[in-house]
Structure 1
Amino acid sequence: MYLSYFGLSDNPFSIAPNPDYLYLSPRHKEALAHLSFGLRESGGFVMLTGEVGTGKTTVSRKLLQQLPDNTQVAMILNPTLSALELLASVCDELGIDYDASHAGLKYYNDLILSHLMDNHRKQHNTVLIIDEAQHLLPEVLEQLRLLTNLETHREKLLKVVLIGQPELQQLLKRNELRQLAQRITARYHLLPLSASEVKAYIQHRLQVAGGDASIFTHSALKQVHRVSAGIPRVINLLCDRALTLAFSRQDRQVKQHVFLAAADQILGEDVIKDRLLRYQTHYLAFLFVCSIVAGYFVGGWYA
């Protein structure tokens, strides 16, 4: 609706995990580096966690773009499966033919292990990526660990990337999963964006879409961080609605009051008031602490 009005060639704030729009903040760079390093190591598992909407799936899509051409990838997006169903899904993703009438853990395991050996002979890597991994049952995770038992003298023949919310960390602390937890060679927890990173994030996405980075005023950008708490998915939802509202008003820029009106429509007036009040409270507390520290040093200097 607003694309041509603002000179955009694409929707810059789609919530689809498009790696072309990935803003590589220092945190996202570290996350990508940890995943890449983990897949190069000899262990079987790497793990990326973060709160909802922090960009975990987009980072995984970027990782896919960086994998060597000789890599076969299986991706599981809905892990609320039994061990048997998960193995069947892995077969589907890897293009392994099977007879469902012979369904059984050993049957699927043998097929997958044979495929891994075949890939190894062809000098192909095999990677399994599981999104929303916090929903995996302990017995399913144990089955995944058993799949990674196949190895050469130097490396595992199957590398597994677990992507999930913070609950995944707690899940892997369970006693029966301690063997799997010990096989995680790289792990990273993705945090929300800082105020400066939110500004750079919005400008980056606008520029990728061929737009002007100054569409959002400075005061509006400040409010984006305060209201969104630095969560990229929330930023996208709010900025998309703000551009729509600015277009309907025929404004050439998204100003602070327009953004807050858009935020009210998305999150609700009560939520916005609560978040802004919480931010002001934290800011005043910070100033209070700073004044005490300054007073201490000034008093010590005079003494």
Structure 2
Amino acid sequence: MYSDYFGIRENAFSITPDPRYLYMSERHREAFAHLLYGAVESGGFVQLTGEVGTGKTTVCRAFLDQLPEQVDVALLLNPPETPRELLLGIITELRIPLRTPEAPLKVLVDRLNAALLAGHAKGRRTVVIIDEAQNIRPEVLEQVRLLTNLETRTAKLLQLFLIGQPELREQLTRPSLRQVAQRITARYHLEPLSRAETEDYIRHRLTVAGCREGLFTTGAMKQVYQESEGIPRVINILCDRALLGAFAVDKAQVDGPMVRYAARQWRGAQRPRDGRRGLWRGAGIAAALLLLATALVYTYRDEYLDLPLLRTLLTPALAAPVHAPAAPAVAEPAAP
């Protein structure tokens, strides 16, 4: 919508994981190196984790683009729910002929093993990547572990990559999954971008899209970092909405207030930290009421004090749910 207005060829901040826009920060380079290491070394698992939106999928797609032609890839974007679904997903991705999907589990494993042996004899390697691996059930992870037993005398036939959110790390610390954790030969946790990297990230994406310098002021990029906490997906969303807002009010640059407005509209009427402030305010009022009641009881303990009445007055205030005050609604600027 605003591309022509700002002189860019395309949307620079699409949330689609386009490898052309891959910004290789130091953290992303390290994650990429771990994936390449796993593709070269045979056996075991490679584990890549990171918060939602930190760029795991984008790094993974760039990694796939770098794999040589003799590498076969099975990419499972949705975590399988059963061992059978896992095996069928791998067999389907590798285009291995299968007479019937209803075959017993052992038959599926044997069919996969035969195809892998045939590929190994031709000098081919096989990589299995499971995305959103934090949602894999323990029994499926155990089947994944058993797949690492498919091997020749000198080499493993499968290299497995587990890509997921931080919960995957926590899951693999369970005693029941220690055999799976012991098979992990390389692991890396992808952290959000720093402030300097966030600014470089914004400039990089604008440059790839063919944009001129100075579209975002220094204050705007600082505000983007504060609002996004360095998470690339959130950076994209905020920058896209801020550009739309600048276009709507006929401004040539995005400044800090525009970014704050975009963040407020994206999150809704109220920021999460405002809710916490309201919660503490309500808790403080409740504590003050309790202190007042204690003081009254202590001061007039020898005199008549209508305790049932006092309890009747205080109970509703203490039992009422605490709500943060709602932020005023802000109208979207009308597009010209």
TM-score normalised according to structure 2 size: 0.79
What is the number of equivalent residue pairs in this alignment? 276
Report if aligned partners of 1:227, 1:272 keep a CA contact under 8 Å in 2. Answer: no
For the structure 1 residues 213 and 103, does the alpha-carbon distance in structure 2 shift closer, same or farther, using more than 3 Å as the test? farther
Structure with more contact order per residue of length (Cα contacts < 8 Å, sep ≥ 6): 1
Partner of 1:282: none
1:41 has 2:38 as partner: no
Report if aligned partners of 1:243, 1:254 keep a CA contact under 8 Å in 2. Answer: yes
> 1:101 deviation in Å?
5.5
Report if aligned partners of 1:224, 1:235 keep a CA contact under 8 Å in 2. Answer: yes
> 1:274 deviation in Å?
4.4
Report if aligned partners of 1:41, 1:155 keep a CA contact under 8 Å in 2. Answer: no
Amino acid at match of 2:122: K
CA offsets, 1:126-157, max 9 Å, x none?
A: 10110000011111111111112122344311
CA distance in 2, matches of 1:78, 1:212: 39
Secondary structure (helix, strand or coil) at the match of 2:271 reads helix
Amino acid at match of 1:241: R
Partner of 1:236: 236
> 1:171 deviation in Å?
1.2
Report if aligned partners of 1:42, 1:154 keep a CA contact under 8 Å in 2. Answer: no
Percent identity between matched residues is 55
CA distance in 2, matches of 1:133, 1:213: 40
CA distance in 1, matches of 2:99, 2:266: 48
Unmatched segments (≥5 aa) in structure 2: 278-336
Secondary structure (helix, strand or coil) at the match of 2:6 reads coil
Report if aligned partners of 1:51, 1:165 keep a CA contact under 8 Å in 2. Answer: yes
> 1:173 deviation in Å?
1.4
> 1:5 deviation in Å?
1.3
Q: Which moved more, 1:176-185 or 1:155-164?
A: 176-185
Partner of 1:283: none
CA distance in 2, matches of 1:255, 1:38: 43
Unmatched segments (≥5 aa) in structure 1: 278-303
Partner of 2:2: 2
CA distance in 2, matches of 1:185, 1:78: 23
Bigger helix share? 1
For the structure 1 residues 43 and 220, does the alpha-carbon distance in structure 2 shift closer, same or farther, using more than 3 Å as the test? same
For the structure 1 residues 273 and 138, does the alpha-carbon distance in structure 2 shift closer, same or farther, using more than 3 Å as the test? closer
RMSD of aligned residue pairs (Cα, Å): 1.6
Partner of 1:88: 88
1:199 has 2:199 as partner: yes
CA offsets, 1:214-249, max 9 Å, x none?
A: 210000000000000111111111111111111111
Q: Which moved more, 1:90-99 or 1:175-184?
A: 175-184
